[in-house]
Amino acid sequence: MVNQTKFKVLEKKCTACFKCSLSSTRKNVVFGRGNPNAEMFVIGEGPGQQEDEQGLAFVGRAGKMLDTAFSAVGLDTNKDCYISNIVKCRPPNNRKPLQSEVSECIPWLNEQIKLVKPKIIVLAGSTATESFLGVKEPISKIRGRWIEKDNIKYMPIFHPSYLLRNPSKEKGKPKWLTWQDLKKIKKELSSI
C-alpha cells in the first residue's frame, strides 16, 4: 500500500515545480492518474494538450488508445496501474523533451516509483524506454521483452500515438504486436 500522505506531499511539491523552462508554458503540472496502490506503473513521454489542460496523464487521443488497448486484455487503466510521464509539463507543440528537461524532471518519477513500489513497469515508447532504462535499441526491436532490474520487471511497448498512426490490426502490425505484449503483461500481473 502506498503511503497516501507521502504521495500527496510529493504531488504538492511536484505541482509547485519551476526547475525547468517547461514550467513557464504549462497550464498544469501532470503528476499522473490511476491507482497508486497498483502493482503496475505505466510511463509515457510527456503531457499533450489535453493533459496540460486537465492536469491528468493520458486523457487525450493517445490516452483513449491506451485505455482501449488495455481493456482489450481486461485491464483498467484507472484501477490496474498508475500512469505518469518522464516529464510532468507539456513540451511546447508536443516536441520531444530535451535531455536537460528529462534530467530535471526524472527525480519526481523516481520518487513516485519509490512510493508506489510497482512489480511491473510498462514503458510506452522510445522516450520512456531510453530515458528511464538508458536502452538505445529501437522500440521495434526491444518491445515485448521483459527486462529485469532491481526486482522490477520492465516491458517496453509501442507508444499509443504510434498506434494511432498505424491503425491496422493485421497480424504482425504494431497494434497486433502491442496486443501480444499486453497479454504477456496481463499474464505476469495475474501471477503476482
By the criterion CB under 6 A, which residues form the site for ligand URA?
44-48, 51, 57-58, 60, 62-63, 85
Q: Residue 18 burial by CB count (10 A; 0-12/13-18/19+): exposed, middle or buried? A: exposed
- Measured CA to CA, the distance from residue 60 to residue 49 in angstroms comes to 8
- Given the complex with ligand URA, which of 47 and 144 has the nearer CB atom? 47
Residues 127, 43 contacting (CB under 8 angstroms):
no
Tell me the closest approach of the beta carbon of residue 94 to ligand URA, in angstroms: 8
Tell me the closest approach of the beta carbon of residue 45 to ligand URA, in angstroms: 4
- Given the complex with ligand URA, which of 138 and 187 has the nearer CB atom? 138
Instruction: Match 505518469 to its residue by C-alpha cell.
Output: 84
Nearest residue relative to ligand URA (C-beta): 44
Tell me the closest approach of the beta carbon of residue 166 to ligand URA, in angstroms: 16
In single-letter form, the type of residue at position 15 comes to: T
- Given the complex with ligand URA, which of 61 and 186 has the nearer CB atom? 61
Tell me the closest approach of the beta carbon of residue 84 to ligand URA, in angstroms: 8
Q: What is the residue-wise DSSP string for 16-59?
A: T--SSGGGGT-SS----EE-TTSSEEEEES---HHHHHHT-SS-
- Given the complex with ligand URA, which of 79 and 187 has the nearer CB atom? 79
